[in-house]
Chains A and B, each alone.
Chain A
Amino acid sequence: MADGAIPLEIRGLSKSFGDRRALDGVDLALAPGEILGLLGPNGAGKTTLVRSVAGRVTPDRGTVRVLGFDASDFRARSVRGWVPQEIALYPLLSPRENLWTFGRYQGLTGAALDAGIRSSLDWIGLADRANDKTDKLSGGMKRRLNIAGGTIHGPKVLLLDEPTVGVDPQSRERIYAMIGELKARGVSLVYTTHYMEEAERLCDRVAIIDHGKIIASGTKEELVRATVGARQTVLVETDGPIPGPLGARLSARGAAVDGSRVRLSVADPADEIRTLLELFHAERVPVRDLILKAPTLEQVFLQLTGRELRE
């Protein structure tokens, strides 16, 4: 590992399977200790990109370097961890035996292996279930063990492929805490998810991939600014249909009126909400509900891809 090497550097990565182009000139970099969220609709190329970094896909063109080593290089395996989307564990083995297996496969032996197993079991909260059969564990426990299987050797770069799929909210919170601990240890993470709120909460930066290309990347604020802008949305709801004169005045200010609902994009919320409420007051139409919404990644994603994230 070269001193000061970038944890992950992808340049011009392209990969096709038959006629289907899965990746088309992807450029991406990951800073030390950074969590990069990788978002994209199904079939956009996320899995191929993650598998390329994991050394499981050979690129047609371009390079993938993990801490300076080519992704297929044997040395990259020691510094990289991969937590696949599937629960890739041995169901008949215990958590301890599963961890022993993946620890050994990553080259740990003796005291280092024992310590790795012990600390991993504590970390994922399964020390008291260490000797139970894995297929007897709950979904959330298996997910945590799945993560530990990819981190037991202390990787510097970790690929987390939808680690919270099918997990209840309580277990999800626990996994978020584990990811926070990994970040605190200085691990750089690539995190793919279908849950927008996860990406907003956990990721320092987000890259959106569609049709095999990175179509946008940056912090949430940068992405919002570059796409939907800084404007916020005001939603107003009344008890009955909005009368024609009020509707006409609202439309003249750029609002969308639909029955008893009004949607208006605002640049200065305090000023524009006051004006809006004065209009309702003047027409003596009571307001039942008013919501001010900040721009979300969901809006960014929708605007960029034309699709919902879960499509």
Chain B
Amino acid sequence: MSLILAVAKNRLMNLRRDRAAFVLAFVLPVAFFTIFAAIFAGSSRAQTRRIPVAIVDEDGSDSSKRLVAGLQAEAGLSVGLKPGDENAPGPFYTAATAEQAVRRGDIPVALVIPKGFGERPIAFGPGEAPVALRILADTSDPIAPQVLNGILQKVAMTSLPGAMARSGMAELEKWSGGLSAEQKARMDAAIGEIDRPHGASDAAPARGPGRSGLVAVETRDVLGQTKRNPTVTFYAAGLGVMFLLFSAAGAGGALIEEAESGTLDRILATRVSMTPLLLGKLVYLAGVGIVQLTLMFVWGAIFFGLELWTHIPGFVVMTLATALACSAFGLMLASVCHSRMQLVALSNLAILLMSALGGSLYPRFLMSEKLQKVGLATLNAWALDGFQKIFWRDQPVWTVWPQAAVLVGLSIVFFLVARRVAERWEAA
């Protein structure tokens, strides 16, 4: 027994001296628990995600205005009536501009209230169907249109009580043979009282149990309807970027091995100085990254219907920028670390954190607004956004310039940091 305890104590003594193993054993799990708890469950102070929605009121009727007001009062929605600043002068969304905004990925969903909605917003019985509301959806976010639909039904109950009463009366008259003049006058007065504004609380969300299916809704997938396999784009890009980072950090570790073995010293005594050495490693890492991403997308195209062949220019631009950024990041990590074990610990922490926040593991659009903004600090988010623009939104190659520029900019920053830190390996 004492020998068993001696062996255990020996391992404990080793663990105390091995900072990297210590971090892997105790810090990493806690860090990841915190990150994933924030993403999936939200902290107690975090706000639930508000779904951005553009509303186009083509009807302009009293009913449509009440519906819009009701939707604007919903905490779960962030309603926009105009592109850009709501308070600035400028045109309201039209069905066409709203659809463009959805296609561009500015918003995940838009609602069009068509002309004639106010005349038949709701229908109870058989016969004339109500005028259907149109939801234009980007189904890369499958939650947004469903949430909007649910909220629409709820708001219809609270915002359009007069319309519901009138519709009910029409059915009653139709099937009961009609009301007397006196009964009709009383009903009109009552409906008028229902319609009369009672202050802001009128538009407040209902607190009672909701009913569904009061208003007719047609949902159109403006992007994914032509896609053979809509979700594969997300996974190809998301996992591709994450593994590219792991691979670059691992390969960048060759620098540490060279330093530990004395080979780096020897190299730096030859005609190769530090800057060409790091650039050479960057070229290699980027080359490997390009092959990795290409392999991933070709595989996706062959076996999962990813539409690679029709998006080659955009794929090339995003692959080059992404591979360069990931490689420079890996090189920077390797330069900062003093041992392989340190690199393993730091790269695991950094890459999984970036992948979680940047959307490689879990789509960013399902995160809270705050976390979505935080995610923009990661190169994963920019790479994924660029790939999504090309493969999901079918946007032309020039539209990914912000993503490509950020990735190239990050590459330069990462490389400069690596170069600066690598000075410690130069002549003492």
Interface residues of B in 231-272 (CB under 8 A from A): 261-263, 265-272
Chain A residues contacting B266 (CB-CB under 8 Å) are 82, 84, 88, 102, 149-150
Within 8 A of B (CB), among A105-148: 105-107
Q: Which of B265, B266, B270, B427 has the most CB of A within 10 A?
A: B270
B6 at the interface (CB under 8 A from A): no
Closest chain-B Cβ to A83's Cβ sits at a distance in Å of 9
Are A56 and B268 in contact, CB atoms less than 8 angstroms apart?
A: yes
Which residues of A sit under 8 angstroms from B269, Cβ to Cβ?
A: 54-56, 77, 80, 82
- A102 closest partner in B (C-beta): B270
A88 to B265, CA, bound (A): 9
Q: Which B residues from 386 to 428 make CB contacts under 8 A with A?
A: 427-428
Judge whether A57 is part of the interface by a CB distance below 8 angstroms: yes
Complex: how many Å from CA A58 to CA B423? 13
Partner of B271, one of A17, A54, A58, A107: A107
Query: Does B271 contact A105, Cβ atoms closer than 8 Å?
Result: yes
Q: Is the CB of A74 within 8 A of B427?
A: no
Cα(A55)–Cα(B270), bound, Å: 9
Q: When chains A and B are docked, how far (Å) is the Cα of A74 from the Cα of B427?
A: 13
Question: Interface code B222-236, partner A: CB below 8 Å = 1, 0 otherwise?
Answer: 000000000000000
Residue of A nearest to B425 (CB): A56
CB pair B262–A84 under 8 Å, yes or no, is yes
Residue ID in chain A nearest B427 by CB atoms:
A58
**Chain B residue with the shortest CB-CB distance to A107:** B271
Known: A84-B262, A84-B265, A89-B263. A77 touches B270 (CB 8 A): yes
- Residue pairs across A and B with CB atoms within 8 Å: the count is 51
CB-CB nearest in chain A for B260: A86
Indicate whether A90 reaches chain B with its CB closer than 8 angstroms: yes
**A51 CA to B261 CA, complexed, in Å:** 16
A233 within 8 A of B: no
The distance in angstroms between the C-alpha atoms of A150 and B427, with both chains bound, is 18
CA distance A90 to B428 in the complex (A): 24
- Whether B270 pairs with A86 at a CB distance below 8 angstroms is no
Cα distance A105–B266 in the bound complex, in angstroms:
10
B265 cross-chain contacts in A, Cβ below 8 A: 51, 56, 84, 88
A86 in contact with B427 given A74-B271, A77-B269, A107-B271 (CB within 8 Å): no
A219 at the interface (CB under 8 A from B): no
Range, interface on chain B: 10 to 19
Docked CA distance A17–B271 (Å): 26
How distant is B128 from chain A, measured CB to nearest CB, in Å?
78
B427 cross-chain contacts in A, Cβ below 8 A? 55-58, 72
Within 8 Å by CB of B270, from A57, A58, A89, A105, lies A105
A78 within 8 A of B: yes
Contact B271 A86 (CB under 8 A): no
- How far is it, in angstroms, between the C-alpha of A188 and the C-alpha of B3 when the chains are bound? 58
A259-287 interface with B by 8 A CB criterion: none
What's the minimum C-beta distance from B341 to chain A, rounded to whole angstroms? 19
Q: How far is the CB of B423 from chain A (nearest CB, A)?
A: 12
Measured CA separation A206–B428 after assembly (Å): 27
Contact indicator A106/B270 (Cβ below 8 Å): yes
- Bound-state CA distance A77–B270 (Å) is 6
Residues of chain A within 8 A of B270, CB atoms compared: 77, 102, 105-106
B250 CB, nearest partner CB in chain A, Å: 14
Do residues A105 and B262 form an inter-chain contact, with CB atoms below 8 A?
no
Q: Which partner residue on chain A sits nearest B277 by CB separation?
A: A105
Q: Given the complex of chains A and B, what is the CA–CA distance between A54 and B262 in angstroms?
A: 13
Q: For A87, list chain B residues within 8 Å (CB).
A: 261-262
Residue of A nearest to B270 (CB): A105
- Chain A residue numbers with a CB within 8 Å of B428 are 17, 51, 56-58
CB neighbours of A106 from chain B (8 A): 270-271
Task: With both chains docked as a complex, state the minimum distance between the C-beta of A67 and any C-beta of chain B, in angstroms.
Answer: 15
A231 to chain B, nearest CB (A): 43
Contact A78:B271 (CB < 8 A) given known A56-B428, A72-B427: yes
Whole-angstrom distance from the CB of A93 to the nearest CB of chain B? 11
Q: What residues of chain B lie closer than 8 Å to A90, measured between beta carbons?
A: 263
User: Quick one: given A57-B428, A58-B427, are A105 and B267 in contact (CB under 8 Å)?
Assistant: yes
Mask: chain A, 95-107; 1 = CB below 8 Å from B; 0 = not: 0000000100111
Taken together as a complex, chains A and B put the C-alpha atoms of A72 and B272 apart, in Å, by 12
Q: Report the bound CA distance from A77 to B267 in whole Å.
A: 11
Chain A residues with CB under 8 Å of B271's CB are 74, 77-78, 105-107
Minimum distance in angstroms from B258 CB to a CB of chain A: 8
**CB under 8 Å from chain A, chain B span 299-335:** none
CA distance A54 to B427 in the complex (A): 10
Within 8 A of B (CB), among A24-54: 51, 54
**A86–B268 touching, CB < 8 Å:** no
| Residue with the highest number of chain B CB atoms closer than 10 Å, among A55, A72, A88 | A88
Closest Cβ of chain B to A18, distance in Å, is 11
Please pick, from A17, A74, A88, A105, the residue contacting B261 in the complex, using a CB distance under 8 A: A88
Give chain A residues whose Cβ lies under 8 Å from the Cβ of B268: 56
- On chain B, the residues within 8 Å of A58 by CB distance are 427-428
The answer to whether A88 and B263 touch across the interface, beta carbons within 8 angstroms, is: yes
Interface string of B99-120 (1 = CB under 8 A from A): 0000000000000000000000
Residues in B neighbouring A72, C-beta threshold 8 A: 427
Is there an interface contact between B262 and A86, defined as CB atoms closer than 8 Å?
A: yes
Contacts of A57 in B (CB 8 A): 427-428
Pair B262/A88 contact, Cβ less than 8 Å: yes
Note all chain A residues with C-beta closer than 8 A to B272.
Answer: 105
Least CB distance from B313 to A in Å reads 35
Closest beta carbon of chain B to A69's beta carbon, Å: 13
Complexed CA–CA distance, A54 and B270 (Å): 9
Contact with A along B332-370 (1 / 0, CB 8 A): 000000000000000000000000000000000000000
CA separation between A57 and B272, bound complex, in Å? 16
A244 to B52, CA, bound (A): 112
Q: How far is the CB of A82 from chain B (nearest CB, A)?
A: 5
Output the least CB separation between A116 and chain B (Å): 13
Q: Which A residues contact B (CB, under 8 angstroms)?
A: 17, 51, 54-58, 72, 74, 77-78, 80, 82, 84-90, 102, 105-107, 149-150
* 8 tightest Cβ-Cβ pairs between the two chains A and B: A86-B262, A105-B270, A88-B262, A88-B266, A88-B263, A54-B269, A58-B427, A105-B272
Known: A51-B428, A102-B266, A150-B266. 8 other contacts (CB 8 A): A74-B271, A77-B270, A84-B265, A88-B263, A89-B261, A105-B267, A105-B270, A107-B271
A-B contact pairs, 17 of them (CB 8 A): A51-B428, A55-B269, A55-B427, A56-B265, A56-B268, A57-B427, A57-B428, A74-B271, A77-B269, A77-B271, A78-B271, A86-B261, A88-B265, A88-B266, A89-B263, A102-B266, A106-B270
